[in-house]
């Protein structure tokens, strides 16, 4: 499988990365090189093989239902490029 | 489990210009899990709070933060599954649903896509006409709630608060088994009742603890399913009914004009009573689901599930059946009494050792009516079950009449006190002394000779005499005794 | 007195204990060495005041006889680890001016054991790279140069700053991370020792995520013993990382010097690549001979799905990365570029914040997860991963204790040498190391000799899950026979 520039542009949009036409052109080339490389996986017979879910053979640990965190909005917003009254600010979102 | 397709009910069809239409409805209900902390972080799951105060570094998706699952949220989902008579999946998987939005800090929502924690189940829904239907549950899965964007604080900026971000939700997906707005409302109401019984969701729709995405389509009876529209985020049962009514008629209008329905997401505007298309997304969603590599598969121990099952409370359907069998109440009364677990508990306390029917009548007619008027819930009823039971006893043993009982109830409701003492201190006791009643009857007869003559010709006029006597005795005379004496003195049978 | 920076970590530890010098003396020597080595660009942030304050506190501890295992030991920290209040950007512009209000579990463990922080180390942006050339802060220069040449070489990557700093003796050891070879390949390129422990051995909490199912922290140090000492402090079970494993952490240092007699060492035939340089082949043979002479049993084994590990990795890792890096959106921290609306803000911020290699991997990852391609790429790759893991399980079940392979297919190459090349050519650097990540196993890279032009070459040992001890034992045996190597100071 290979991708064309339109696909790369669509994928970049999905990933929310602005790309110029030239970048899309260059990336199309690079992505096709990678996709060509991974194509060899098609040789592998994976019939009846379970996909790996985790390399760790253990049961997922759980926590007790206790409030142990939060309560410090200033800490949460300290790194925000734009904030007001402990809210994060973004350009107006229209639904 | 499969539920047989329902035969179109002519009463539920919608009349269009060109014939009848059947509306088909399925629902995805988002129910907030009752828990102290969030699904994957130790921040508080409580409603409200100052902006970003219920937020951990995990919820804010700081670099290097990792989710750790809340055991109670898992238990709550399993309890809910059991309450919906659903299959519990011993292995389920958390996936990432990837999309960008300011109230979604991670850039993905942790949800369950291919392997949910709960599989197929069923809800029995009681309709006002006394008929019950079964609504299939497709699945239930756990997922994170998103934060909140506030748009009215600033002309050009939205304010983002992540207090909701990461709170545990159960998404309960029904099969498209509903056929009218009435059924849809009844389903939502029943689901809410079950969740509240289980204690797994508080069902508070104003606070958004329970909200529904409603899939609506229409078709000619007997035809395959039509194209559906999804009405997002409906947060009241009443609005759900209105939205479905509007949406079904909108679709019928389009189809009857020869148009086609676009599959789309719509919003209900309660102010206008309309659904409208959400600003169509520039591109189709591509959520790129994949198993969350930060979380191992969720494996449940069958013995643990059994333990939860053993401690499940009695659910409304079982309670209803028991009330009918044990207390002899009507199915309708039983349904009303079991809508809320607290009401049912109250009823049982009143009915224990008493006539269940009398208890049910007094509760439904007097107590519920009064509480409703004040917008109070049974939990903060000023009249306790013991007090109400005492009033029922006083009626039963003839100490007070039904009419006086209403007055007494009002006194207990507004002022409090032991009903037995109040009957004494306020002189509310029913007069059963026949001498006193006879005197009162004699007085009325003596004062109204013309009526006496009329009554002999028209025996129903006896009622007028009874009324006068009751009035004269301040309602305290035993009505049966008055009736008997009036008839005897007037010489009518 | 000899230069304090010439001591190994174990020697420095013992010298501090014996009061031969103070922690402040040691730290001052390192602060000076760090300053003198700025030309290498190994450190992107130096924290000398913090280091000296920590060292002074260590001296007090030592004076009170309360020295902890790493008391007064100056370390460098890869920029991927969150350090409270100290620059943490994964060497990316997108995390511009981010100061974490938290400390990663691994670094917190190190400080709790008394270690001293010298600063933050350069790396490939978000740990994506094999040459440290993708860093927003510019490339790192390898302290090693070809014999008779002044050309600057890469230190490998992504933990290039860590490996270079250890090789240049501007820290006693460094934290590093390994997703496809990012500890072992730079260790091999710089003549240092690096171990990627079993997945789950070190907590990932507070380490900027690249590919969650593959990322694992580990140390780079000057010799096997130092590496073992550091891993003991870094490893822990962490309630904040449910993929960290609840097993006691052994005394790894005790494994150094144990006999290798009777250990069964597998030599996988699939690692003998076509066109592999003769000196890599010779190095591998040298390793085999060393271990055989030390009494180990050498057996040829087969890991049939080896060649599919790298292509499967280049689906799984970018897929996870595309999702892990979605949080860098200019809203809560880091860089924010102007945007007409929220989508525009996202797109311009991410376009300006991410470098070319990161963008490339995000796009690949987004593509392979997108509708219609998931089964063909991601699901298939995860199935192949199961087969790769099974290959290892089979040989371990047959009694193999560890597997010996070359660490890299070549020695260090020049900065810029592969700049114009196809991205896949760079990816091939990880061909021997990536299988280990795909199977979650421990792997150690140990220097075993020099190339014809005088550059270090390393061997890799792959162990059973959570059997890092055997790797330290075997690594020490190779080290003892081959000797350690060190770069001549030219900077």
The answer to whether the CB of A90 falls within 8 A of the CB of B102 is yes
Q: Which runs of E-coded beta strand occur in C126-272?
A: 173-178, 193-196, 216-221, 264-268
Cβ under 8 Å to A: B residues 81-110:
93, 100-102
- Cα–Cα distance for residue pair B116/B291, rounded to 1 Å: 12
Give the mean model confidence (pLDDT) for residues C124-143: 98
B3 inside domain: no
Contacts of A59 in chain B (CB under 8 A): 296, 299
Q: Residue B282's pLDDT is what?
A: 44
Considering the domain architecture, whether residues B29 and B165 belong to the same structural domain is answered as: yes
Q: Which residues of A touch C331 (CB under 8 A)?
A: 80-81, 88, 90
Nearest Cβ partner for C327 among B68, B106, B289? B106
Same domain, B99 and B194: yes
Q: State the greatest distance between any 2 C-alpha atoms of chain C, in Å, as a whole number.
A: 69
**Residue A55 with chain C: CB contacts under 8 Å:** 199-200, 213, 389, 439-440
Percent of chain C with pLDDT over 90: 96
For A79, the closest chain C residue by CA position comes to C333
Q: Are residues B326 and B391 in the same domain?
A: yes
Is C89 a residue whose pLDDT tops 70?
A: yes
Q: Kindly report, residue by residue over C39-78, the tens digit of the pLDDT.
A: 999 999 999 999 999 999 999 999 999 999 999 999 999 9
**Contacts across the A-C interface (CB distance below 8 Å):** 168
Instruction: State which of B308, B338, B359 marks the end of a domain.
Output: B308
pLDDT in tens, A2-33: 899 999 999 999 999 999 999 999 999 999 99
Nearest-angstrom CA–CA distance, B67 and B457: 88
Interface test with C, best of B64, B65, B101, B106 (most C CBs within 10 A): B64
Give me the mean pLDDT over the C195-205 stretch: 98
Tokens of C58: 């260590």
| Separation in Å, CA B434 to CA B20, B81, B404, B431 | 66, 63, 19, 8
Give the pLDDT confidence score for residue B493 in this predicted structure.
Answer: 65
What is the DSSP pairing of strand C43-46 with strand B274-277? Answer: unpaired
**Domain that residue B337 falls in:** 314-425
B383: three-class secondary structure by DSSP: coil
Q: Which tokens is B127 given?
A: 């309709």
Rounded Cα gap, residues C169 and C3, in angstroms: 10
Amino acid B1: pLDDT: 31
Q: Looking only at Cα atoms, what is the longest distance across chain B?
A: 98
Would the CB atoms of A17 and C342 count as touching at under 8 Å?
A: no
Cβ-defined contact of B36 to A62 (cutoff 8 Å): no
Class for domain A5-42, per CATH? Answer: mainly alpha
Residue C284: its pLDDT value, please? 98
Joined together, the tokens standing for residue C263 give: 């250990």
Residues B53 and B167 both lie in one domain:
yes
CA distance A15 to B100: 9
- Chain B neighbours, 3+ Cβ pairs < 8 A: A, C
* pLDDT tens for each residue of C376-409: 999 999 999 999 999 999 999 999 999 999 999 9
- Residue B284 is predicted with a pLDDT of 64
Q: Do B395 and B442 belong to one domain?
A: no
Distance set, CA B42 to CA A65, B59, B69, C54 (Å): 8, 9, 9, 31
Q: ipTM value, please give it.
A: 0.97
Note whether B103 and B173 are same-domain residues: yes
Higher pLDDT, C426 or C189: C189
Whether residue B2 is contained in a domain is answered as no
Are B52 and A77 inside 8 Å of each other by CB?
yes
Give burial (CB, 10 Å; 0-12/13-18/19+) of B353: exposed
d(CA C458, CA C406): 6
Terminal Cα distance for chain A, rounded = 37
Asked if residue B125 and residue B165 are part of one domain, the reply reads: yes
- pLDDT per residue over A50-82, tens digit each? 999 888 878 899 999 999 999 999 999 999 999
Residue B5 domain flag? no
Size of interface A-B (CB pairs under 8 A): 134
Which backbone phi and psi does C371 adopt, to 5 degrees?
Answer: -50, 130
Instruction: Please state whether beta strands C297-301 and C173-178 pair in parallel, antiparallel, or not at all (unpaired).
Output: unpaired
The reply to whether C201 touches chain A by the CB within 8 Å rule is no
Q: Rounded to the nearest 10 degrees, what angle do helices B434-447 and B462-472 cross at?
A: 120
Please check whether residues B278 and B318 belong to one and the same domain.
no
At the top level of CATH, which class does the domain C4-256 belong to?
alpha beta
The domain that holds B482 is classified in CATH as 1.10.10.410
Q: Where are the domains of chain C?
A: 4-256
Residues of C annotated catalytic, as ranges: 78, 158, 182
Q: Which of B153, B138, B125, B144 is nearest to B51 (CA)?
A: B153
Q: Is there a single domain that holds both residue B18 and residue B133?
A: yes
Q: Tell whether B185 and B237 lie within a shared domain.
A: yes
Q: Is residue B368 part of a domain?
A: yes
Q: Are C42 and C121 contacting, i.e. CB atoms less than 8 angstroms apart?
A: yes
Q: Where are the alpha helices (DSSP H) in B330-448?
A: 331-338, 341-351, 356-362, 369-374, 385-396, 402-415, 419-425, 434-447
Contact criterion met (CB < 8 Å) for C341 and A91: yes
Residue C158: cis peptide before it, omega within 30 degrees of 0: yes
- Rounded distance between C-alpha atoms, residue C393 and residue B484, angstroms: 97
Least confident segment among B267-276, C20-29, C156-165, C420-429? C420-429
Mutate to test the interface with B, among C127, C210, C242, C380 (most CBs of B within 10 A): C242
Name the neighbours of A, counting chains with at least 3 Cβ pairs within 8 A: B, C
Q: How far is CA B225 from CA B20, B22, B150, in A?
A: 15, 10, 38
CB atoms closer than 10 angstroms to residue B20: 14
Residues B291 and B342 in one domain: no
Please name the member of A10, A53, A64 whose beta carbon is closest to the beta carbon of B71.
A64
* Residue labelled with tokens 């060109």: B18
Based on the structure, what is the number of domains in chain B? 3
CA distance C173 to C185: 16
pLDDT value for A94: 74
Task: Give average pLDDT by consecutive 10-residue segment, chain B, 493 residues.
Answer: 59 89 97 98 97 98 98 98 98 97 97 97 89 95 96 93 98 97 96 97 94 97 94 95 96 95 93 85 77 96 98 95 94 91 94 92 93 92 94 89 88 93 84 80 87 82 86 81 84 74
Q: How far is CA C366 from CA A86, B108, C95, C174, C201, in A?
A: 33, 13, 21, 33, 29
Note whether B286 contacts A: Cβ–Cβ < 8 A: yes
d(CA C308, CA C390): 13
pLDDT, chain C, mean: 97
Question: Is 0.90 surpassed by the pTM of this model?
Answer: yes
Give residue B280's pLDDT.
57
- Cα angle value C274/C275/C276 (rounded, 5°): 95
């Amino acid at each position: 499988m290979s991708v064309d520039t339109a696909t790369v542009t669509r994928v970049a949009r999905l990933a929310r990365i602005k790309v110029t036409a030239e970048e899309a052109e260059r990336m199309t080339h690079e992505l096709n090189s990678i996709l060509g490389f991974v194509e060899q996986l098609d040789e592998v017979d994976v019939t009846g093989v379970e996909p790996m879910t985790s390399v760790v053979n253990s049961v997922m640990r759980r926590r007790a239902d206790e409030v142990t965190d939060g309560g410090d909005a200033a800490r949460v917003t300290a790194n925000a490029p734009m904030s007001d009254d402990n809210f994060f600010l973004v350009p107006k979102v229209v639904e | 489990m499969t539920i047989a397709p329902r035969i179109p009910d002519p009463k539920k069809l919608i009349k269009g210009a060109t014939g009848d239409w059947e509306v088909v409805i399925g629902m995805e209900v988002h129910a907030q899990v009752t828990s102290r902390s969030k699904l994957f972080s130790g921040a508080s799951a409580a409603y409200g709070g100052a902006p970003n105060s219920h937020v951990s570094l995990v919820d804010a998706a700081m670099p290097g933060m990792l989710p750790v699952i809340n055991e109670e949220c898992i238990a709550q989902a399993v309890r809910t599954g059991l309450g919906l008579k659903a299959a519990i999946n011993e292995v389920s998987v958390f996936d990432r649903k990837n999309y960008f939005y300011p109230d979604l800090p991670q850039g993905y929502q942790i949800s369950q896509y291919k392997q949910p924690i709960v599989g197929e189940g069923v809800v029995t829904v009681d309709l006002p006409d006394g008929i019950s239907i079964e609504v299939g549950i497709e699945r239930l899965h756990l997922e994170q709630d998103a934060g909140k964007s506030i748009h009215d604080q600033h002309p050009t900026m939205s304010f983002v608060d992540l207090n909701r971000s990461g709170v545990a939700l159960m998404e309960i997906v029904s099969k498209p088994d509903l056929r009218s707005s009435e059924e849809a409302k009844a389903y939502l109401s029943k689901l809410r009742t079950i969740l509240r019984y289980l204690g797994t969701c508080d069902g508070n729709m104003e606070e958004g603890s329970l909200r529904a995405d409603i899939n609506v389509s229409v078709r000619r009876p007997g035809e395959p399913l039509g194209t559906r529209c999804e009405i997002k985020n409906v947060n009241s049962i009443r609005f759900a009914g209105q939205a479905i009514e509007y949406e079904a008629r909108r679709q019928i209008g389009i189809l009857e004009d020869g148009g086609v329905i676009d599959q789309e997401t719509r919003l209900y505007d309660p102010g206008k009573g309309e659904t409208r298309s959400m600003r169509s997304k520039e591109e189709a969603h591509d959520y790129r689901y994949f198993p969350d590599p930060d979380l191992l598969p969720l494996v449940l121990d069958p013995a643990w599930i059994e333990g939860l099952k053993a401690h499940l409370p009695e659910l409304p359907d079982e309670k209803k059946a028991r009330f009918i069998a044990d207390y002899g109440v009507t199915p309708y009364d039983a349904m009303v009494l079991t809508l809320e677990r607290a009401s049912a508990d109250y009823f049982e306390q009143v009915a224990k050792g008493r006539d269940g029917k009398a208890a049910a009548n007094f509760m439904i007619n007097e107590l519920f009516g009064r509480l409703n008027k004040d917008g109070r819930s049974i939990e903060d009823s000023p009249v306790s079950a013991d007090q109400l039971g005492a009033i029922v006893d006083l009626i039963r043993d003839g100490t007070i009449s039904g009419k006086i009982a209403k007055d007494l109830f009002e006194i207990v409701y507004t002022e409090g006190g032991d009903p037995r003492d109040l009957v004494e201190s306020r002189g509310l006791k029913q007069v059963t002394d026949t001498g006193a009643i006879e005197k009162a009857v004699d007085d009325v007869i003596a004062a109204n000779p013309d009526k006496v003559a009329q009554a002999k010709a028209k025996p129903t006029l006896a009622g007028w005499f009874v009324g006068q006597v009751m009035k004269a005795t301040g309602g305290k005379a035993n009505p049966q005794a008055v009736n008997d004496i009036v008839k005897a003195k007037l010489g009518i049978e | 007195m000899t230069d304090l920076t010439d001591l190994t970590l174990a020697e420095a530890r013992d010298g501090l204990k014996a009061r031969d010098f103070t922690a402040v003396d040691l730290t001052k020597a390192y602060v000076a060495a760090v300053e003198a080595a700025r030309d290498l660009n190994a450190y992107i942030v130096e924290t000398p005041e913090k280091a000296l304050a920590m060292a002074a506190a260590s001296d007090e501890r030592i004076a009170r006889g309360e020295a902890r295992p790493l008391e007064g030991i100056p370390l460098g920290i890869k920029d991927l680890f969150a350090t409270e209040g100290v620059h943490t950007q994964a060497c990316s512009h997108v995390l511009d001016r981010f100061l974490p209000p938290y400390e990663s579990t691994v670094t917190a463990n190190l400080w709790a054991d008394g270690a001293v922080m010298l600063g933050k180390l350069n790396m490939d942006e978000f740990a994506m790279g094999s040459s440290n050339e993708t860093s927003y802060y510019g490339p790192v220069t390898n302290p090693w140069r070809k014999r008779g040449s002044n050309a600057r070489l890469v230190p490998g990557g992504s933990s290039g700053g860590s490996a270079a700093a250890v090789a240049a003796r501007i820290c006693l050891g460094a934290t590093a991370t390994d997703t496809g070879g990012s500890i072992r390949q730079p260790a091999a390129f710089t003549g240092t020792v690096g171990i990627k422990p079993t997945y789950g051995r070190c907590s990932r909490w507070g380490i900027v995520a690249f590919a969650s199912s593959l990322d694992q922290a580990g140390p780079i140090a000057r010799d096997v013993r130092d590496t073992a000492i550091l891993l003991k402090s870094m490893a822990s079970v962490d309630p904040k990382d449910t993929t960290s494993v609840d097993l006691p952490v052994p005394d790894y240092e005790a494994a150094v010097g144990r006999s290798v007699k009777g250990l069964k060492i597998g030599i996988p035939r699939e690692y003998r690549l076509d066109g592999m340089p003769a000196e890599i082949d010779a190095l591998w043979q040298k390793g085999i001979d060393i271990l055989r002479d030390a009494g180990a049993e050498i057996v040829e084994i087969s890991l049939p799905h080896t060649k599919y590990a790298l292509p499967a990795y280049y689906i799984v890792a970018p897929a996870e990365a595309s999702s892990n890096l979605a949080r860098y959106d200019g809203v809560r921290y880091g860089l924010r570029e102007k945007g007409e609306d929220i989508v525009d803000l996202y797109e311009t911020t991410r376009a300006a914040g991410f470098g070319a290699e990161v963008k490339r991997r995000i796009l690949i990852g987004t593509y392979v997860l997108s509708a219609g391609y998931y089964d063909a790429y991601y699901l298939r790759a995860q199935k192949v991963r199961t087969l790769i893991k099974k290959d290892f399980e089979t040989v371990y079940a047959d009694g193999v204790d560890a597997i010996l392979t070359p660490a890299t297919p070549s020695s260090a190459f020049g900065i810029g040498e592969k700049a114009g090349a196809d991205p896949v050519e760079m990816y091939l650097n990880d061909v021997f190391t990536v299988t280990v990540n795909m199977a979650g196993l421990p792997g150690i890279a140990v220097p075993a000799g020099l190339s014809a032009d005088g550059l270090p070459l390393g061997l890799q040992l792959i162990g059973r899950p959570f059997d890092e001890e055997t790797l330290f034992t075997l690594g020490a045996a190779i080290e003892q026979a081959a000797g350690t190597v060190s770069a001549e100071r030219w900077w």
